[in-house]
């Protein structure tokens, strides 16, 4: 992930906006979980976002794919990128803080590198990537708390559920490359959300009971935010930022989300996370910066200069 485009003022503004939107989604989900069960919260998220994105596809008059292979791809992508991670993370948020969830969620990039190396010959693990992944794992372990590896409880299980969700995100990126290349991003996102909705609605109905719209106003607002703004709207903004800033610069979003989520969790719900979680995020952030590829050459040049002056 190297620097592909120059960061302009508008690009910075939209990257920060995307980080704020996604950072706020962790709080909104937690608010909704006060009244709705985890799988039902996911069904609301994918269902309403799906309707919004198909409306966008219709307005833009984009062609809808008819190839059954693509629709199988949508189902698989919906399962790996929505149903599994959304469900695991929603359940995990019942037992751990909003901010810690966002920190662990940042490990997605770490597992993405590993998954790509396992499945694609052109994504091998280099020395730089290995260093970034190692630091990332150390950061995750530190954020979880090394003591938690000696005692196991619901909080420990919740943190592992979040990590499992990030692994699913990583596998989703492999699935997308294999099955969904060449589609308009709006169509790909709408199709993926359709696949996830077809899976999660009956599953939520069976596990949580009938899905109702008779909810408190705060819950409705929270669902509206994370479904329409932080899912449908964020997908559209993501692809806009990708075109404007390039894939390398989008790594910045991953680094900006946790501070926003931590701040919102503290202000709205009075949450506090341990110093170890902050230390873990610092290590994870360093790993992500190394994976980004722009700092590594500078580090190597610094080492070479030091050796020459000895």
Classify residue 283: in a domain, yes or no: no
Rounded to whole angstroms, the Cα distance separating 132 from 283 reads 9
Q: Domain of residue 87: give its range.
A: 9-110+146-275
Rounded to whole angstroms, the Cα distance separating 195 from 282 reads 36
User: Residue 293, CB half-sphere, CA atoms under 13 Å: how many?
Assistant: 12
Classify residue 117: in a domain, yes or no: no
pLDDT tens for 123-133 read: 787 888 788 78
What pTM did the predictor assign?
A: 0.84
CA quadruple 176, 78, 110, 283: dihedral positive or negative?
Answer: positive
pLDDT tens for 22-53 read: 999 999 999 999 999 999 999 999 999 999 99
Encoded tokens for 218: 């705060």
DSSP state of 210: S
Radius of gyration of the chain (CA): 20
Residue 246's pLDDT band (cuts 50, 70, 90) = low
Classify residue 290: in a domain, yes or no: no
How many domains is the chain built from? 1
When pLDDT is averaged across residues 242-255 and rounded to a whole number, the result is 70
**Nearest Cα residue to 107 out of 274, 280, 293:** 280
Classify residue 289: in a domain, yes or no: no
Encoded tokens for 117: 């190396």
List C-alpha distances in Å: 42 to 30, 46, 47, 52, 264. Answer: 12, 6, 8, 15, 21
Which range of 64-73, 158-167, 196-205, 289-298 scores highest in mean pLDDT? It is 196-205
Burial status of residue 193 (CB atoms within 10 A of its CB: 0-12, 13-18, 19 or more): buried
Classify residue 63: in a domain, yes or no: yes
Please measure the distance between the N-terminal and C-terminal CA atoms of the chain and give it in whole angstroms: 33
| pLDDT > 90: percent of the chain | 43
Which range of 196-200, 209-213, 267-271, 299-303 scores highest in mean pLDDT? It is 196-200
Classify residue 282: in a domain, yes or no: no
């Amino acid at each position: 992930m190297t620097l592909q485009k120059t960061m302009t003022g508008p690009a910075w503004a939209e990257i920060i906006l995307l980080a704020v939107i996604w950072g706020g989604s962790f709080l909104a989900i937690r608010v909704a979980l006060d009244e709705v069960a985890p799988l039902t919260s996911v069904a609301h998220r994918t269902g309403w976002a799906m309707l919004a994105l198909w409306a966008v596809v219709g307005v833009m008059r984009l062609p809808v794919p008819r190839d059954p292979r693509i629709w199988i791809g949508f189902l698989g992508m919906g399962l790996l990128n929505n149903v599994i991670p959304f469900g695991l993370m929603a359940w995990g948020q019942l037992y751990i803080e909003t901010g810690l969830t966002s920190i662990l969620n940042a490990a997605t990039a770490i597992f993405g590198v590993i998954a790509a190396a396992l499945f694609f010959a052109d994504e091998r693990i280099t020395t730089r990537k290995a260093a970034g992944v190692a630091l990332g794992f150390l950061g995750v372990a530190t954020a979880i708390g090394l003591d938690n590896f000696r005692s196991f409880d619901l909080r420990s299980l919740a943190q592992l559920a979040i990590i499992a969700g990030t692994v699913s995100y990583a596998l989703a990126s492999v699935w997308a490359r294999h099955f969904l290349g060449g589609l308009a991003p709006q169509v790909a996102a709408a199709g993926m959300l359709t696949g996830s909705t077809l899976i999660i609605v009956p599953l939520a109905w069976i596990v949580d009971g009938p899905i109702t719209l008779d909810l408190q106003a705060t819950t409705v607002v929270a669902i509206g935010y994370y479904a329409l703004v932080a899912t449908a709207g964020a997908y559209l903004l993501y692809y806009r930022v990708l075109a404007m800033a390039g894939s390398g610069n989008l790594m910045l979003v991953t680094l900006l989300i946790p501070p926003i989520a931590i701040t919102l969790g503290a202000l709205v719900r009075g949450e506090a996370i341990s110093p170890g979680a902050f230390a873990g995020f610092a290590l994870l952030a360093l790993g992500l910066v190394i994976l980004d590829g722009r700092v590594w050459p500078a580090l190597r040049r610094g080492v070479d200069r030091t050796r020459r002056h000895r």
